[in-house]
Amino acid sequence: MPEATGGSNPDVSLLYDINGIAKGAPHWADRAMEFIGEYGIVFGFAVLMLCAWWSLRKGRNAPAAMAALLWAPLAAGIALLVNVPIRGFVRRPRPFLDHQGLEVLIKGKTDFSFVSDHATLTMALGVGLFVANRKYGLIGIGLALLEGFCRVYLGVHYPTDVVGGLALGTAVALLLAPLAMMLLTPLMRALAGTRAGWLVRSADAPAEHEPMSAAEAGAAMPGHGHHLHHRDNDLAA
């Protein structure tokens, strides 16, 4: 028979605490959280990626930045593939199947619960963005954490499902980043020399081999180098 409370299990207790917020929230708030947790944050990542692409293609090291940016969705896809055998091995039922009294805001979830695909996807994207640019990456990681909260709020995942997804997305995006950069950076440099080069580097972006301007040279002096780094080559890995 499904359990009614979490008892001494902190994972279940936290599930009830977070999901309990939904019970006291107005209907419109629950509907908003349902949209945000299921589709909104993923759409937000699409907008964030577009903004990052528009900004990073203007930098001196644009091909490397574009390689890192391309790695973000690739890492997310790989992480989701890695999660397939994990889910099949753990075979953890959704929390509402084992615990009574949950406010389930998304119906029809019949697959296994561990680990959360949404948490895996969004954290891989966020960490992949961080490899390209710290500012956009931190925003992405924040969105991934919000996604994890939403999944528990909606009653479709345990907190540990979310933690596992965040860890899986981080591991794939970081551990495979050096290999990805080694393969993708030459590809982006080659693409920059074609008619489709505007996808990699904007027309007014300084070339990597061009000498630095006086302003850039001043910024690169000891004590000021981090300014140039963050503007043109803000790669975190």
Q: Is 152 part of any domain? A: yes
Q: What residues does 3 pair with on adjacent strands? A: 99
pLDDT at 149: 95
Q: Is 56 part of any domain? A: yes
Q: pLDDT: is 233 or 18 the higher one?
A: 18
Q: Is 113 part of any domain? A: yes
Share of the chain above pLDDT 90, in %: 59
pLDDT at 218: 43
Instruction: Check if the beta carbon of residue 188 is closer than 8 Å to that of residue 63.
Output: yes
Q: What is the pLDDT of residues 95-140, one digit of tens each?
A: 988 888 888 888 878 889 999 999 999 999 999 999 999 999 999 9
Is the pLDDT at 214 greater than 50? The verdict is no
What is the domain count for the chain?
A: 1
Is the pLDDT at 159 greater than 50? The verdict is yes
Q: Is 36 part of any domain? A: yes
Identify the domain containing residue 78 by its residue range. 14-180
Mean local confidence (pLDDT), 23-51: 92
Q: Is 111 part of any domain? A: yes
Q: Is 133 part of any domain? A: yes
pLDDT at 92: 93
Q: What is the 3-state secondary structure (H, E, C) of the chain?
A: CCECCCCCCHHHHHHHHHHHHHHHCCHHHHHHHHHHHHHHHHHHHHHHHHHHHHHHCCCCCHHHHHHHHHHHHHHHHHHHHHHHHHHHHHCCCCHHHHECCCCCCCCCCCCCCCCCHHHHHHHHHHHHHHHHCHHHHHHHHHHHHHHHHHHHHCCCCCHHHHHHHHHHHHHHHHHCHHHHHHHHHHHHHHHHCCHHHHHCCCCCCCCCCCCCCHHHHHHCCCCCHHHHHHHHCCCCC
Q: pLDDT: is 123 or 60 the higher one?
A: 123
Q: Is 48 part of any domain? A: yes
Kindly report whether the global pTM for this prediction surpasses the value 0.75.
Answer: yes
Is the pLDDT at 168 greater than 90? The verdict is yes
Highest-confidence segment of 12-26, 116-130, 195-209: 116-130
Q: Is 211 part of any domain? A: no
